[in-house]
Structure formats: structure tokens, C-alpha cells
Amino acid sequence: MRLPVLLIAAVVSACVSSSDALARPIWAPTIDNPYCAITTFVLPDLSEQAMSTVDADERPVIVINGLTVRQTRAYANFLMAHECCHHTLGHVANVHRRLGQLGPQPFFYIAPQLKGMELEADCCAVRMLKFKNEPESIEAGRLAMSQFGSSPTGAHYPTGDERADNIAACAAKD
């Protein structure tokens, strides 16, 4: 079973934070993210494929699984665009703002919103990738989601089929 994303976010936040805005931990290399100007770390043992969060100083960060970057660059590009969208659409700020005010089980309160946020970030990523003329990255994202089939792609997330259909529909729009 995967660790909850919020637990991973807390660990990542602790690892990448520093009072010096330019300081980064030596063990967490970054990757150029052509879709947004948000520091994107590559972690070899990340249990998620990618994630968006903020560091302890409330700066946005993205973390992507190193194996995904090495094995399937087109899919890694889809993921980086998708995670950029979580930041630009305000999903990360909204989640972090709400988590600070919700008591001992905050995930319970945001779970109903997660499905919509994922579909919205997928469509936003498609628009970014179309603008950058990267149809192979869009297709890589659609194929990766379709592999989940009727299973959810994460806790309280849409199924793989829902996400693959959403990506295809967004790609078909002008």
C-alpha cells in the first residue's frame, strides 16, 4: 500500500526546506521543468510517480520519481506539466490552507475534491503540452492512466479509465 500523499508531502517539505532560498539538500537533485518555474526535485525512492507541495517556507516545489524520468521521458513530461497545473490552478495552496484548520483528520475533508482536482490538472497539462507541441507526452499520459483501468489512480482519485478519457477529450479540444 502506498504511503498517503500528505505524509510524503510532510517528509519532502522537511527535506527540501531551508532558510536560504538557494539552498538545496545535496541528495535531492533537480531537473529542468519546462512547464513552470517551480523547483522540481528528482527522488529515486519516491513511492508516488510525482507530487506537488510546498516546502517549510511555503515555496512551491514539485517532486518526481527518478525512475519515471529515466525510463519514460514523455510520461515524465506529462507528470511535470500536471504537477505545475496543481500549483497554477491553486490546488496546492488550497489544500495546504485548509489542512491547517481542520483538526486531526484533515484528509477526510479534502477527499471529495481530489477527483475534480486531478481531472482539472490533467486537462491543464494537456493544454500546456499542446502549446509546447508535445503530442507524445499527452499520449504517454493517456496510456499510463489507461493502464489503471477501472481502478482508482490514487486514494479518492478518478479511475484510470476516467482519466484516460478525460485526457483524450481535452486533447480533442481546440
Strand partners, 165: none
Mean pLDDT of 106-125: 85
Judged against a pLDDT cut of 50, whether residue 5 lies above it is answered with no
pLDDT (0 to 100) of residue 96 = 73
- pLDDT digits 0-9 by tens, 70-91: 999 999 999 999 999 999 999 9
pLDDT (0 to 100) of residue 58 = 86
Strand partners, 43: 65
Q: What is the count of structural domains for the chain?
A: 1
- pLDDT digits 0-9 by tens, 143-163: 999 999 999 998 889 999 999
Say how far residue 61 (Cα) sits from the centre of its chain. 10
Range of the domain at 123: 5-172
Q: How far apart are the first and last CA of the chain?
A: 39
pLDDT (0 to 100) of residue 72 = 93
Output the CA–CA distances (angstroms, integers) from residue 88 to 53, 63, 120, 171, in the order listed: 12, 16, 11, 19
